[in-house]
Amino acid sequence: MSTGKLQTLERGIALLRLVSQSPEGIRINELAEQLGLNRPTAYRIVATLVDQTMVRRLEDGRIVMGVGAYQLGARSSDSIQMLARPVLETLAQATGATAFLSMAEGDTCVVVMTAEPRDAVFNIHYKLGTRHPIDRGAAGIAILAARPETPQDSEDIRFCRANGYSVTKGQLHKGAVGVSSPVQLQDAGLTGLEFSIGVVALEALEITQAAKAVPDAARQLVGALS
């Protein structure tokens, strides 16, 4: 193969992905099978990744993610935030409300980044790192709406799926209104990362306007990340 992709590296990353999807750990045999490699090959990839602290082996041989991967992720979040920053700023300006980027983590929804409008007299300060149950608040609803339909989906979720944005009033805080859209990274071939972007404000929020600006911002972000 002259130019093009490096097979060994591709396999290594693929293996890393598989490990990351197995919080309880995964065995070499299973890795080999799932990736269509033979055992020795999988073994060598694992050995290399262990050496680099990207994965670790538990006492019984199971393989789990390592500190190195965590480190890379922490650093790359900076890079992502650099991209998201302008989108959030614009959104905050356009709507006059506090813009946020949230992310699913298990059954909770975490605030990853926020931007506040420059020239508003009052605005909501949405604390970084705040967690809510994923089924409450506009951000979580938007993320749920991006998942495959289920019969138990709430009214809010179905609304969001149909219209491209969620609206919630007072679900997280009395008097607070939120509008949010999923960041559809699946469209860009990314699965397993669930973000939503949106705005939150006092009841004065102009929903009609936000209902345009928010999905727009979501699309922009997908573009920027792909």
Q: Does 51 bind a copy of itself (CB under 8 A)?
A: yes
CA-based torsion, 71, 74, 77, 82: positive or negative: negative
CB of 3 to DNA, least distance (A): 4
Q: Does 61 bind a copy of itself (CB under 8 A)?
A: no
Residues 73-92 that bind a copy of itself (CB under 8 A): 73-80, 82
In the complex with a copy of itself, which residue's Cβ is closer, 82 or 204?
Answer: 82
Q: Does 105 bind a copy of itself (CB under 8 A)?
A: yes
Q: Does 120 bind a copy of itself (CB under 8 A)?
A: no
For 71, the token pair is 């480190």
**Out of DNA, a copy of itself, none, which partner does residue 125 contact, by CB within 5 to 8 A per kind?**
none
Contacting residues toward DNA, per CB under 7 A: 1-3, 5-9, 11, 27-29, 37-41, 43-47, 57, 61-62
CB of 208 to a copy of itself, least distance (A): 32
Which positions touch a copy of itself (CB under 8 A)? Answer: 3-13, 16-17, 20-21, 23, 44-45, 47-49, 51-54, 56, 64-80, 82, 103, 105, 110, 127-131, 185, 189-190, 192-193, 225
